[in-house]
Amino acid sequence: MRNFYFLISLLLLIFGLHQFAFAGYQPPFGGEYTNLCGSGTNANFYSCSANCDINAGKCSSRSNEWIFIYICSGRQTECRSNEIKLGPNNTAYVTSYAGVGSDKTVQIDVFNKDCRAGGGWSCDNSNLKGYIVWWSGSSGGGQIQCNENEVQLSVIPNPSNIGDWIYFKVTAGDASTWWRNEFSGGVMNCTETIYGWETKCKSYTLGTFTWTRYWKRCVGSPNNCSSECRKSISFTINKLIPSIVPPIVITLPPVVTY
């Protein structure tokens, strides 16, 4: 019986290590890497000479390099379908070829020559300068919906005067993941007072403008999200009215006539 439990424990340990080996680096924009030059299918770091950035999900070609991109369905550690070629001095982003959650694999290879120059394939491993293989992740079969009806925005004060500090607040709902603000005009010098929830800006232009909040609704993980959500609110900046200064009364001496 003791040997039986030992065998079960050993199998669980092996299974756990197997699972861990296939958990690649997860970049900030979502998905995960399944194969990276330098760390292979462990995919936990990149260390090759080609100019690839795993945090940004991109590879760039220098003046003597060519990029080959491949797109496959599902989670793969190598992809050789739907080939796209980019010449020297180009940049390829994985998210340009598959959206996060679309269950696609994108592979970007960088070579020191045009491997298709003669019509066939003329490169081998000695010509490969670097590669990244990224899986977009899957939404689990159901598209996550935006929560725009739950999110409420406020602008304080509204209206404001030129020179005022204006506070742009998320007052209800959650719009704090993968968020950004966009203003149609009127404000400058914006800073975060409560990160993800409140932004302070200086008003400087007369008129009525729009603040648009963009975000994603995520469920269970910051990589399992809806498409970009948005909500807008208008705000008005008035001309600064100077304070009224009372007139100064000057008393003159009486005029004497002879």
Burial class for 257, CB neighbours closer than 10 Å (0-12, 13-18, 19+): exposed
- Write the single-letter amino acid at 41: T
Question: 175 near 215, Cβ under 8 Å?
Answer: yes
Taken in order of first residue, the domains within the chain and their CATH numbers are 2-135 (no CATH), 152-238 (2.60.40)
In the sheet with 198-203, reading across from the earlier edge strand, the strands are 152-156, 165-172, 198-203, 187-194
Both tokens of residue 161? 């005067």
pLDDT tens digits for range 199-255? 999 999 999 999 999 998 887 777 778 888 999 999 999 987 555 445 666 655 665
pLDDT in tens, 171-182: 999 999 889 999
**Cis amide leading into 159 (omega within 30):** yes
User: What pLDDT is stored for residue 223 in this prediction?
Assistant: 73
**Each residue's pLDDT tens digit, 17-75:** 333 334 589 888 888 999 999 999 999 999 999 999 999 999 999 999 999 999 999 88
pLDDT score recorded for residue 226: 80
**Could you tell me the pTM of the whole model?**
0.50
